[in-house]
Amino acid sequence: MGYGNWDDRAYDAGRTFRAARGLDDFGYTADVRSQPMSSWKAHPSLDPKGVKLRESRDSDDHGNSLPIAVLFDVTGSMGRVPRIMQEKLGKLHGLLQRKGYADDPQIMFGGIGDADSDQVPLQVGQFESDNRMDEQLRLIFLEGNGGGQKSESYELAAYFTARHTATDAWDKRGQKGYLFIVGDELNKPRLASRHIRNIVGDKVNRDIAVESIYRELADRWHVHYILPNQSSYYHDSEISDYWRGLLGERFLRLDDPAAVCELIALTIGIGEDRIDLGAGLADLRDIGSTDEADAVGKALAPIGAARRSHSVGALPAPTGDDDVDFGN
């Protein structure tokens, strides 16, 4: 819900405590993996089934809330990215707030898997302003499987964000939030109604076209897809062409996965007109992220070019029926 304030000292103390005792930062993953696969499940606080809304609301502490959703692909080698994010969460928050990129950022984390094959295909936390964002990030189950079909269930995460979130930024100010999907594969060909029913719990009887749900999502969110250099798919033109066709310049290729926090922060700062790309890269060098600055500058070059030409990345227009009944 976005109450409270971030505390760097508490965050650092927690990391030091776990390191000193040999505890995994992602302790829930370690606990679940010690059990039979048939019993694997999302932590109750991140289970999307039956959730009405995840809400980002203004409060006395945060009167200008900005919702930010970061949803990771947790299959295969992509499980490294949430760990990078957790290691740098303090730096992300520092860039957003102390550098003035966002007045009152409220961050929601989640995990994405494969609804056709995984035990835990979707996990979604709450919007938080304080150290609970670190707690929910560490509760994500890093399943690490995936279906091996060059696709994961990103479209299911898009559906949940489109239909099961509410934000004061939009309701009060008409201000879009920021969604970052971090992955390395394609959406499923269709958003299957059986997946919506089984995983989210909505009574939906018709499959939904992927382009349709992303257009719906874009009404209230600036939607970005980050492809980190984490697998062979980073060099796969089919992946790049697909996401570029869906999201335009908001498809971001990131040479260095270690720069994911910095990329998210600068994307928001630029989107909120708090900085331009040059100033943002200078900020990164100022806080010691010199190596990351090169990767971020390259990733954000398309957005910088688009802003200079006053163009906006658009989702493609409908080409046919958005909803199709497949009898699922």
User: From the centroid of its chain, how far is CA 315?
Assistant: 18
Q: Which CATH class is domain 8-313?
A: alpha beta
Kindly report, residue by residue over 206-231, the tens digit of the pLDDT: 999 999 999 999 999 999 999 999 88
How far is 300 from 278, CA to CA, in rounded Å?
11
Kindly report, residue by residue over 280-325, the tens digit of the pLDDT: 999 999 988 999 999 999 999 988 777 766 544 445 444 444 554 4
Q: What is the helix, strand, coil percentage profile of the chain, to 5?
A: 45, 15, 40
* pLDDT on residue 328: 43
Mean pLDDT over 248-263 rounds to 95
Which three-class secondary structure string do you get for 143-208? CCCCCCCCECCHHHHHHHHHHCEEEHHHHHHCCCEEEEEECCCECCCEECHHHHHHHHCCCCCCEE
In this structure, of 82-86, 155-159, 170-174, 176-180, the range with the lowest mean pLDDT score is 82-86
* pLDDT on residue 238: 97
Q: Which helix (H) or strand (E) holds 108?
A: strand 104-112
91 in Cβ contact with 261 (< 8 Å):
yes
Q: Give the C-alpha distances (Å, rounded to integers) separating 188 from 83, 113, 148, 208.
A: 26, 11, 12, 11
16 in Cβ contact with 25 (< 8 Å):
no
How far is 191 from 195, CA to CA, in rounded Å?
8
How far is 216 from 213, CA to CA, in rounded Å?
5
* pLDDT on residue 61: 85
Enter the pTM of the model. Answer: 0.92
Mean pLDDT over 11-35 rounds to 92
Q: Which of 80, 59, 170, 67 is nearest to 124 (CA)?
A: 67
- Does 266 score more than 80 pLDDT? yes
Q: Give the C-alpha distances (Å, rounded to integers) separating 169 from 156, 164, 217.
A: 23, 15, 15
Which phi and psi angles does 121 have, rounded to 5°? -80, -15
In this structure, of 84-98, 256-270, 271-285, the range with the lowest mean pLDDT score is 84-98
Domain ranges of the chain: 8-313
Comparison of pLDDT for 109 and 232, the residue scoring more: 109
For the chain, the average pLDDT equals 90
